[in-house]
Amino acid sequence: MLDRRRFVADLLADRGDLLVVTGLGSATYDAAAAGDHPLNFYLWGAMGGALMIGLGLALARPDRRVTVITGDGDFLMGLGSLATVGVKQPNNLSVVVLDNGHYGETGMQASATQAGIDPVATALACRFKQACQVSRIEDAGAMRALLHSGEGPLLIHARIKSEDTPRVLPLRDGHAIKERFIAALKA
């Protein structure tokens, strides 16, 4: 099982011009802990919406790589959007599901992945070009390479430890997060 903070930090190391959308809760904190960046679009709500934001962005900017980093709760709420992504086949879109099998923000209640609902099989059934599971930190480098050059749409199912991590809170003002992102992307 992966240490989520170390895994996300490894994924985002030397990120170049990667565009990142983070799902609400711990995924947002993990990305912030890896280093605040203007090309991070942090979600603090809109649960279930992270992947669709990634799709709109990937369609708008086919010249850039887009990565959605989210938790199993947000992913499961937006399961239908895997089909929507599968129809459009954006080759520049990746999604990383940080799966601890729990709703961490609300008291660690079990999520559906803990009962065996399988993000990799779901993604492949939805015509993702590739999907894989990762649970060893030694594989983080290969996963990072997928984000930068793997053929999408692709999904990385990261099995992470369910331990509590300290909150690292980035910008919370939605207008500021959006305007900063747009300005950095135009620059």
* Choices 37-45, 108-116, 140-148, 152-160 (CB under 8 A): range interacting with other proteins: 37-45
The pair phi, psi for residue 111, each rounded to 5°, is -100, 175
Q: Which of residues 84-123 bind other proteins (CB under 8 A)?
A: 84, 87-88
| Interatomic CA distance for residues 185 and 172, integer angstroms | 19
What pairs with residue 68 in β-bridges? 21, 95
Query: Which CB sits closer to other proteins, 21 or 154?
Result: 21
53 binds other proteins (CB under 8 A): yes
Q: Which stretch binds other proteins (CB under 8 A): 58-66, 102-110, 114-122, 158-166?
A: 58-66
**Closest CB 140 distance from other proteins, rounded Å:** 26
Q: Of these, 59, 110, 121, 183, which contacts other proteins (CB under 8 A)?
A: 59
The closest of 45, 50, 25 to 160, measured between CA atoms, is: 25
Please identify which residue in 28, 33, 48, 155 interacts with other proteins, judged by CB under 8 A. 48
φ/ψ (deg, to 5) at 12? -100, 5
Calculate the CA dihedral of residues 120, 12, 84, 49 and round it to 10 degrees. 110
